[in-house]
Structure 1
């Protein structure tokens, strides 16, 4: 079936507003710590007690009372009133002790222990509540769970975290050459964004096959890959229409004009082109923002740097620009196009708004980083 070429290009912001109006953040679930990495944190209950609950040793050594060590040195050892306890890092201090001395700072002469150095209260010790007071919330809501967050959660004795993890169904409409590279990319991006990915493959490129694939999935958001163009084997948009999803076809997006979007009931559907560059642009500007909306994610990190040279853009189109991070600032590599060499060299991307003719050299530009660190 030949897909009709869209006569009108819909602004990206209008499409996002329509999709967001039909859905909201998913219900939080409790996941084991290892499974929650990368997911978006939901509200965390305040700590019921301070951390640590009582004073603990910060070094391996002798638990002592600072007042008993006054005047102690290697030249004038001070006998201790009783045999001290040796504690390991993280061990609780015995009652009455307020400092920890290294092993070499205490010696034993027969039955007597003597100190070879002074200390102040709190030396070598993490006091009760010094890590975090009772009532504090440690994991920030709306932020992706990091490895440091997992460490903090374990320190707090937590076994799981409350997160929002949308179920994303990706339907791969088979490419004529059998390639799955674009679908593989979007699956990896969705997982990195904290989604639970349910991948399937349509039985063909015809309307019936795509409709059957749509009917078989149960998810919070659906991503289709391929079949959005104007060729005789492009039936994805027609399948969405036949399923009653009333798709918006043709985006004011460069690259990615042939992308489509719809609400299948209350489930947002983003139909990405099969071409990798166009699909990536559709992911950045449509699919990822909807996934963030469903996950309750706050603003993603942007890096602000001056623009080394001017970006010229077409009025009426959202154009994706690839940027390289240089010592002078952001250097534009490609505008409205994502060639492989530019993708390999890019450090960030930015979308130029449709009402703008671009950005002037020297302008401070907030861009989305593509690489960690």
Structure 2
């Protein structure tokens, strides 16, 4: 059965509000460090100080700085006993507060001489100098990044508490390239991604693939348009509820939102540019709600040239950063090369006619 868009498109804000209604954050889970990157932190216990005690920051001789006053190559300072050699990372011996390079101490038989002065803290990492006691890895509500893994790795923490939404992507045959793109974006956003493929493009085959029993969010990719073989939205109506089909969003107007039971569903168009636009405008806010993510950071820069937009439909502009300004690459319709070049994206509300050249605009980064 051929799908038909309603005579009037649903405003983006209305469709998004319906999609988010009743959606609560998923419960935190403890994941191994190798799986936690990209996931949203859900509160990490405070860590102990690191290093737990003073350690050598470099290979050399451990000594006490006050004992070395006046030592130089011209006035070697004899020592009664040889100092202790330490390797980087070794605990500092009791009473020692500096590490001198190997050539700063001369040992010839029983004679030990120091050829340089030292200052307290030289060649040492102080206790708590790298990580203060009480520090947490990963600010709650923000994605776990490589630097967070550094913190927990050195303090011998092997798991992190995160909110990781489970995503099921249903591939309507013919949209494989777009599915790969969306799945990659989802994994980069820290989601647990499962993909399935409908047996065919008809509504019954697609409906059979719609299983929300083990996911927090379900996406269909392809089959949401007006072609004779486009049946994704009809399939959703058979299994669940269609909240809106035909969104006042360009690109992405053939996207749809709905539910399977309590699980939110977004039907993405099969075209990569339209699917990406719907991902940015509809799916990202849903992911943020499911993971209790804090608001995404926006970068404010002036526009190199004006952006014109039609009133009545929300449009997304792709931007590239050039000399601390935003250069518009595409608005409304996106060539694939513009997608590849884009550094950021800007949502132009339906009530807005665009922005004049030189206007500062708040854009979201494509890759955080």
TM-score when normalising by structure 1: 0.94
Instruction: Name the counterpart of 2:138.
Output: 139
Displacement of 1:328: 6.5
> Tell me, what secondary structure is at the counterpart of 1:18?
helix
Instruction: Name the counterpart of 2:199.
Output: 203
> Tell me, what secondary structure is at the counterpart of 2:241?
coil
1:16-40, Cα deviation, whole Å (9 max, x unpaired): 2222222222111111112212222
> Tell me, what secondary structure is at the counterpart of 1:247?
strand
Instruction: Name the counterpart of 2:111.
Output: 112
Instruction: Name the counterpart of 2:273.
Output: 277
Residue 330 (str. 1) matches residue 326 (str. 2): yes
1:232-266, Cα deviation, whole Å (9 max, x unpaired): 22221122112232331110101111100012222
Cα 1:328–1:130 shift into 2, 3 Å? closer
Q: Is the 8 A contact 1:22 1:263 kept in 2?
A: no
> Tell me, what secondary structure is at the counterpart of 2:211?
helix
1:280-314, Cα deviation, whole Å (9 max, x unpaired): 11011111221122122223233221111111111
Distance 2:187 2:254 in 1: 24
CA RMSD of aligned residues (A): 1.7
Distance 1:215 1:35 in 2: 25
Distance 1:60 1:209 in 2: 67
1:329-351, Cα deviation, whole Å (9 max, x unpaired): 22222211111232233332211
Distance 1:12 1:87 in 2: 64
Residue 10 (str. 1) matches residue 14 (str. 2): no
Equivalent pairs, count: 368
Residue 258 (str. 1) matches residue 257 (str. 2): no
Residue 27 (str. 1) matches residue 24 (str. 2): no
Instruction: Name the counterpart of 1:87.
Output: 86
Distance 1:295 1:64 in 2: 51
1:97-124, Cα deviation, whole Å (9 max, x unpaired): 1111111111113223221111121111
Distance 2:294 2:40 in 1: 9
* 1:122-161 pair list within 5 angstroms: 122-161=121-160
Instruction: Name the counterpart of 1:38.
Output: 38
Residue 222 (str. 1) matches residue 218 (str. 2): yes
Residue 190 (str. 1) matches residue 186 (str. 2): yes
Displacement of 1:180: 1.1
Distance 2:45 2:237 in 1: 44
Displacement of 1:371: 5.3
Distance 1:131 1:244 in 2: 53
Residue 309 (str. 1) matches residue 308 (str. 2): no
Q: Which runs of 5+ in 1 are unaligned?
A: none
Q: Which runs of 5+ in 2 are unaligned?
A: none
Residue 101 (str. 1) matches residue 100 (str. 2): yes
Displacement of 1:146: 1.7
Displacement of 1:230: 1.9
Q: Out of 188-197 and 340-349, give the one that drifted further.
A: 340-349
Displacement of 1:364: 0.7
Distance 2:134 2:323 in 1: 44
Q: Is the 8 A contact 1:308 1:328 kept in 2?
A: no
TM-score when normalising by structure 2: 0.95
Distance 2:339 2:278 in 1: 15
Q: Is the 8 A contact 1:252 1:316 kept in 2?
A: yes
